[in-house]
Amino acid sequence: MELAWYALLGLFFAGYLVLAGYDYGVGLLLAGDADVSRRRAALNAVGPFFLGNEVWLVAAAGILFGAFPVLEGELLAGSYPAVATALVGVILVTAGVQLRSRPGSGGARAAWDRVIVVGSLLAALGWGVVLAGLLQGVPLQADGHVAGVTHLFTPFAAATGLAVVALVVAHGASFLALRLPAVEGDRLRPLARRLLLTAIVAVGTAAVVGLFSDRVRAAAQRPAVGVLLAVLLVAALLAARVALGRRRLGVAFAATATALALPVLLVGATLWPYVLVSTVEPSASLTVADAAASGPTLRLLGWLTVPLLPALLGFQAMCVWIFRGRTDGRAPVYW
Amino acid sequence: MDTLLLARLQFAATASVHFLFVAVTLGLVTLLVGMQTAWVVTGNHRWERLTRFWGQLYVINYVLGIATGIVMEFQFGLNWSGLSRYVGNVFGAPLAIETLVAFFLESTFLGMWIFGWHRLRRGVHLALLYGVAITAYASAFWIMVANSWLQNPVGYEVRDGVAHLTDFPALLTNPALGMALGHVLSAALLTGGLLMAAISAWHLNRRTTDHALFRTSLRIGLVTAALAITLVQGFGFAQFGPVGGVQPTKFGGNPEADALIADWTARFGPGDYLPPALSNVGLGFMILIGFALGLLWLLVPLLWRDWIIRLRFPLWLLMLALPLPFVALILGWIAREVGRHPWVAYGLLPVDQAVSPVSPWLMASSLVGFTLLLGTLAVTNWVLLARHAARGAADPALGRRPAQPPADDSRPEPAFA
Ligand code: HEM
């Protein structure tokens, strides 16, 4: 039962990284485009999906609190600066995207666009560091609390944060190549391929830094799985690059989406059966089962929410279906 | 510096801002449902324009509701990790349900609603708004279930210092829940109704275009607000009984409170178990505002033959009254939340055990950072709301035909979007 909830938590967080990942990628790409109408087109390509994307984070946080309360407290408080950074980013993007077109003047829009760029950067960086923080273990004391927050500031965390930034930018570009009108989408393909190369380098660097980090090696319970998934991640990025070259845009997007989901799986599987591995007191490490809420709570949540999952996913699918295909002159413009 | 105090200040600041926006969200969406239904049923163009104009304001206001809501949700873990550790088994459940069955769907529906104009069939588009409204109310319900559990913990047993869920239905029949839910929901309706009436009054007073349109929304807003204030008062007074029953220390000294304090002193050690005076001052002023707003009923007869517009001063009264419900909302929350001091979960978990063991400096930077960020966004959002309200219903961006060049842009942008 704990495993099922852990998987669900992973599903929603990975879903968040995949879906909001392209929001942030599109957001970061605004920095490289001075053309106002292209910027607006890019944001409205995300358009109808935007609100539905970021709530995956809220759902993940809900599951975290409901099904893994102990983990919730220690993970968030123990990674305070990283979580706070990510949150500031999420809020800036939320407000920026929805409000940028509400002022009439171009100057104000340009300012909001900068807000979106900064927000996207902080969000990707912050969540990357949170994931890295899990993988390198935390100073969990015998009393069950994580001591201090300086444990986050390591080369591995920095490299992972940057790798996630590189991943979302590439993902955003592959989304736009798929979604914008054909001419515009085609224009973006070379850029997307270059960004994928950067992402491969960034992910590779983070992986190597991780392999050389004592803390990561000590925390990994199944290093082989971790390495395998990291290799898969790079393979997905390579596949995306090849697919873009052959104009298989759907395949490319699926590949970059996989690349954004994999880090979550990697962290979960490499640490299993633990979720917080202590760097100071081996017996204090927290297993998934210990972190979970007690039986009655999980059963209640199961009865109330699991039957609704098909509805949740169904309405998201409905949104994708209604607004499927490339944007064109008839697509609504609001952001 | 004291981590606990900083964490409490941060919670108060975020929750206040959050409440100012979600009350409007909840109130306006109810009125929007009525307007859009009228449009679909009658096919009358005027209802479409009303839906677009008020819908635009609703959507702008919604932004800060989510932004602050996300911060609230993460704040539990960031600043109050003891809360999840000791009572997370029980308190976490309603919050998890809220995010999954309410918030998640609400945003999904809203995205489709905003972009669905001219694209979806009218019935489907209307159904989406119903979805938004229903999930918004569901959200309010589950949040109040969670909050009421903190006010009056029920349906649990403590094993090894940790609370475990034993009786979920007890959370739903919590005496701290029913009347409070009615009170908050009608307060939200009051706020939404008065906002609508006041903005309409501004336009009618200025004699801007669209007289007929704003005349309609003035009537809707005023009648809604008047009905709602009566409900607010009714549910408000009805709360004293159940809340006083489960929280004897809340409304000042009485024998029960003294007995309870003696019991707590024995179990948790000596301490100050009475809430600060602030909470009862808040309560008093809220009730004053509640009575003042009851006078809205005096304006209702003036709707006859449009005397309310012709006399003009009633329009001014409505505009001047607009801040009152917002102030009362904050005061009400102060009364309810500060009134349960020094407990996070009343009689079960004291605040100092719930706060995260992080350094005061970290907490202080978080407090300053998030408060500045959300404060700035809130003010910006209100400025945008005011501008859009003042601009009138000529051509809101919401529901504009894709091919139509926007009238509000300094230069037409969407080349192909
Ligand atoms: C005659 C008028 C009113 C009375 C008798 C009244 C009564 C109460 C009482 C007794 C509480 C405290 C509940 C607790 O501590 O648990 C409360 C809370 C609250 N009040 Fe009022 N109130 C009135 C008017 C208003 C108005 C006009 C508003 C806002 C528009 C408002 C908004 C709130 C809110 C947001 C809370 C906190 C949440 C809750 O308890 O449900 N109240 N009210």
Ordered structural domains, chain A, with CATH:
2-296 (1.20.1630)
Mutate to test the pocket of ligand 1, among B183, B330, B343 (most ligand atoms within 8 A of CB): B183
Contact criterion met (CB < 8 Å) for A77 and B117: no
Contact assessment for residue A234 and residue A202, using Cβ atoms and an 8 Å cutoff: no
Does residue B232's CB lie within 6 angstroms of at least one atom of ligand 1? yes
- Res. B28: pLDDT tops 90: yes
Give mean pLDDT, residues B181-194: 98
Q: Is B413 inside any structural domain?
A: no
Nearest to A161 by CA among A113, A126, A187, A189: A126
H or E segment and range at residue A123: helix A106-135
pLDDT in tens, B162-177: 999 999 999 999 999 9
Residues 135-154 in A contacting B (C-alpha not used; CB under 8 Å): 144-145, 148-149
pLDDT in tens, B198-248: 999 999 999 988 999 999 999 999 999 999 999 999 999 999 999 988 998
Phi, psi angle pair for B165, to nearest 5° = -70, 130
Contact criterion met (CB < 8 Å) for B89 and A50: no
Rounded Cα gap, residues B378 and B65, in angstroms: 10
Q: Is B415 inside any structural domain?
A: no
Q: Is B410 inside any structural domain?
A: no
- Res. A127: pLDDT tops 70: yes
Rounded Cα gap, residues A109 and B328, in angstroms: 35
Q: Which atom of ligand 1 is nearest to the CA of B188?
A: 30
pLDDT in tens, A169-212: 999 999 999 999 999 999 999 999 999 999 999 999 999 999 99
Handedness of CA A186, A189, A191, A195 (dihedral sign): positive
A23 touching B, CB under 8 A? no
Q: Is B59 inside any structural domain?
A: yes
Give mean pLDDT, residues B244-254: 85
CA of B285 to the centre of ligand 1 (A): 10
Give the DSSP letter of residue B301: G
Q: Is B400 inside any structural domain?
A: no
The two tokens of residue B181 are 């839910």
Give mean pLDDT, residues A42-68: 94
Q: How many domains does chain B have?
A: 1
Contact assessment for residue B10 and residue B75, using Cβ atoms and an 8 Å cutoff: yes
Rounded Cα gap, residues A282 and A280, in angstroms: 6
Nearest to B198 by CA among B220, B176, B182, B178: B220
Q: Is B402 inside any structural domain?
A: no
User: Which residues form the domain of B265?
Assistant: 3-391
Integer angstrom CA distances of residue B305 from B44, B50, B180, B389: 23, 22, 38, 26
Nearest to B88 by CA among A243, A57, A160, A296: A296
**Amino acid sitting at position B208:** T
B79 touching A, CB under 8 A? yes
Q: Which of A280-284, A329-333, B386-390 has the highest mean pLDDT?
A: B386-390
Q: Is B287 inside any structural domain?
A: yes
Instruction: Find the residue in B nearest to A72 (Cα).
Output: B77
Q: What is the pLDDT of residue B239?
A: 93
Mutate to test the pocket of ligand 1, among B152, B326, B336 (most ligand atoms within 8 A of CB): B336
| Range name among A134-148, A225-239, B206-220 with the lowest pLDDT average | A134-148
- Res. B2: pLDDT tops 90: no
B364 touching A, CB under 8 A? no
Q: What is the pLDDT of residue B411?
A: 42
A174 by DSSP, 3-state: which? helix
Q: What is the ipTM of this complex?
A: 0.94
Rounded Cα gap, residues A168 and A24, in angstroms: 6
Nearest to A305 by CA among B130, B85, B103, B147: B103
Q: Is B399 inside any structural domain?
A: no
The two tokens of residue B84 are 């999840």
In degrees to the nearest 10, what's the CA dihedral of A254, A259, A264, A268? 100
Give mean pLDDT, residues A225-243: 96
Cβ neighbours for A198, distance < 8 A, ≥ 6 positions apart: A166, A169, A170
What does pTM read for this prediction?
0.94
CA of B176 to the centre of ligand 1 (A): 13
* Residues of chain B neighbouring A83 (CB-CB closer than 8 A): 74, 77-78
Integer angstrom CA distances of residue B180 from A134, B18, B333: 41, 18, 11
| A81 pLDDT tier (thresholds 50, 70, 90) | very high
H-helix segments, chain A:
2-29, 36-46, 50-67, 69-78, 80-99, 106-135, 155-179, 182-212, 214-219, 223-245, 249-271, 288-291, 295-305, 309-322
Does residue B330's CB lie within 6 angstroms of at least one atom of ligand 1? no
pLDDT in tens, B257-307: 888 998 899 888 888 888 888 888 999 999 999 999 999 999 999 999 999
Contact assessment for residue B104 and residue A15, using Cβ atoms and an 8 Å cutoff: no
B404 by DSSP, 3-state: which? coil
The two tokens of residue A203 are 């992910």
